[in-house]
Structure 1
């Protein structure tokens, strides 16, 4: 009855509709949201989806990942999202997987392309990202970076030197030298929020033209300028990222092109979290070690006190490099942390472990283990043949909790 308003009161209340995300599409406008197919449900296997974003002429696309959860692999070989500047033959801005959220990605023109691939084994809810149009080279508080092609030049954090860099920014400088030259980078002043593992604000330098952990030269934070860095070839990418909390003075850095034959030695800086993880273990030591009989040393109890770290976890990635196995472990429980570098993304904790002799002990991706071993200077776990590793079953938990309360 319109006079009494009864109809309005008894009208059912529908919840707001959640957008349904499909596999790819063409998206135009000033802003929008993109999600993997079926997000927040598990994305389908064996799929390739392509999204093409177009914002108004004269503007650039700024893309921010709000959530990402794809099968984890340190080289992103299985499931991943690629982001490109432009729709055709554009520069790849980065490849992402696992739960690592990159900072804002900025295209050079008014077009951006996202491509997501999944293999037969899927794991995760996919991704959710938002895009918006912005004015190019808007220096102010938000955008910085760019392509540098002159023989020498300078790059610096937004607001340098008047005030601290702002929170929540990403700057990417892509330096391109002629084919027969390499690039030297040095920092004149450097002050970026300090953290032992540079988990918050940091500068990462990559060989090549994109964000790719396998090509990372170093990751830097703190208040000591890193030692000069030299590229392998004629391209280098410098990325600065600040989170939404503490900020600092920032930095000013300089680059110059050098002839390829120029002799270089890049000293790993003290502020680096994970300096190039491909650095080999001394060969003589490794060969001697791997000649030992593959025999687990003593018992769970007798190894507990002599180990730097004790954790249980699932092997997410296992990659052979040289004679060693490099693994990423998703942590179930930490019983003894020591100096082990533990990364946290939401509720998920993970760490990197190197099995010095790839087949001793032998570990498999997807299985759960108890790891007991030593920690190297970079915070990575190191497991030699005589250290203690065994398959983890729920029944082991009780014994580990008893050991945790024991005084060594």
Structure 2
């Protein structure tokens, strides 16, 4: 009997250890040497915010007679038309070899192939960081060999389906990215419904997730939603005749995946969302945000109220440093490195070590007016994707040390 109990205990301990190993996520460091048939490289701390003032170099070597194929699974660096600030360079051979490209922002290029069996990847960041960095997969292929295509592609038939790799026989694989570009005739829009949906669960959908954008490019200003977990998203209607659906899985846990269906619909049947009133507690969709912004930006810019009067009616309250600010249309899209968080609400926060950051939309780019590199107290609403939303009626103020005592007192009181 004692021997049986010992065996059972050993099996339980072994099961616990295996489960812990399975859930352990890869740790990406600044650069390294890789000699293998295949593998992954990622920015330091990925998927958290990459550190400032760094230069990281990854050297990839595959067996003789083969070449290196590199595919970016994810990229989110500070955006600049000339990629002058934060960027990734990819070279065939060493740094003195042919540069295959320089990349920044969220543009994900196609596969990059070296001329020989070596490739060098170099990432540079300036004093201000701006995103989650990058994740890329490399593999050894024969010259001119076409890599295996798991999923994705252009969908232009009046109706159809899309699904994760291996559906429905088994879980989707780790470390894949699939992009479906759905294109309807110009006078039609696209409706998308998910029949089944099961991805790794995370409160902020940082790991395995689906992103859906209006149009054909990855653009936060046109993002409809970010989804994960096991609850299918509500039916989605595009603004125009194109949608981009992107699925990404990281290198750890996987799940069943999903199957979704789309169909084209005449524009005249599209439903619209009424603009929110100023008193509404949450901005629910991107379309609503744009309507909301257009109405508010007609008003004279004037801050009203106090820290105390806005604290309880705000979804989130933080102090932080504006590290990026990009104007799109009449709004500004900013990344904030968080100093202190007094009220989190549904705000999506990215964390890398002790550093936390979040993305916020300033509905009217000149009201309140913000400057990169300065510290602010920010109070506002959140949309369904967890982005902060700040309009002229919300409260934003240059942060000074004396404000910290007031905010700490407000944090300790009950609303």
Question: Do both share a fold (TM > 0.5)?
Answer: yes
Cα distance, 1:82 vs structure 2: 7.4
2:407 aligns with one of 393, 396, 400: 400
1:247 match: 254
Query: Which stretch shifts more, 181-190 or 201-210?
Result: 181-190
- Once residues 216 and 397 of structure 2 are traced to their aligned partners in structure 1, the CA distance between those partners, rounded to angstroms, is 41
- Once residues 158 and 285 of structure 1 are traced to their aligned partners in structure 2, the CA distance between those partners, rounded to angstroms, is 44
- Once residues 261 and 140 of structure 2 are traced to their aligned partners in structure 1, the CA distance between those partners, rounded to angstroms, is 30
1:297 is aligned to 2:326: no
Q: How does 1:46-125 map to 2 (within 5 A)?
A: 61-63=69-71, 71=78, 78-81=85-88, 96-97=104-105, 107=111, 122-123=127-128
Give the total of aligned pairs.
357
- Once residues 355 and 63 of structure 1 are traced to their aligned partners in structure 2, the CA distance between those partners, rounded to angstroms, is 33
TM score, norm. by length of structure 2: 0.62
CA gap of 1:276–1:322, structure 2 versus 1, over 3 A, is: same
Cα distance, 1:331 vs structure 2: 0.9
1:360 match: 367
1:205 aligns with one of 196, 209, 212: 212
- Once residues 79 and 30 of structure 2 are traced to their aligned partners in structure 1, the CA distance between those partners, rounded to angstroms, is 26
TM score, norm. by length of structure 1: 0.63
- Once residues 32 and 377 of structure 1 are traced to their aligned partners in structure 2, the CA distance between those partners, rounded to angstroms, is 35
SS at match of 1:282: helix
1:331 aligns with one of 335, 338, 343: 338
1:223 is aligned to 2:226: no
Cα distance, 1:118 vs structure 2: 7.2
1:281 match: 291
SS at match of 1:314: strand
Q: Cα RMSD over matched residues?
A: 5.5
Query: Which stretch shifts more, 380-389 or 105-114?
Result: 105-114
Q: Which runs of 5+ in 1 are unaligned?
A: 1-17, 22-26
Cα distance, 1:150 vs structure 2: 7.0
2:378 match: 371
2:395 match: 388
- Once residues 209 and 359 of structure 2 are traced to their aligned partners in structure 1, the CA distance between those partners, rounded to angstroms, is 19
2:177 match: 171
CA gap of 1:313–1:20, structure 2 versus 1, over 3 A, is: closer
Cα distance, 1:333 vs structure 2: 0.8
Map Cα deviations across residues 226-248 of structure 1 (whole Å, 9 max, x no partner): 425548456x5432112344433
SS at match of 2:408: helix
SS at match of 1:340: coil
Map Cα deviations across residues 200-235 of structure 1 (whole Å, 9 max, x no partner): 32112345665444454433333225425548456x
1:309 match: 316
- Once residues 348 and 304 of structure 1 are traced to their aligned partners in structure 2, the CA distance between those partners, rounded to angstroms, is 24
SS at match of 2:207: coil
- Once residues 59 and 392 of structure 1 are traced to their aligned partners in structure 2, the CA distance between those partners, rounded to angstroms, is 53
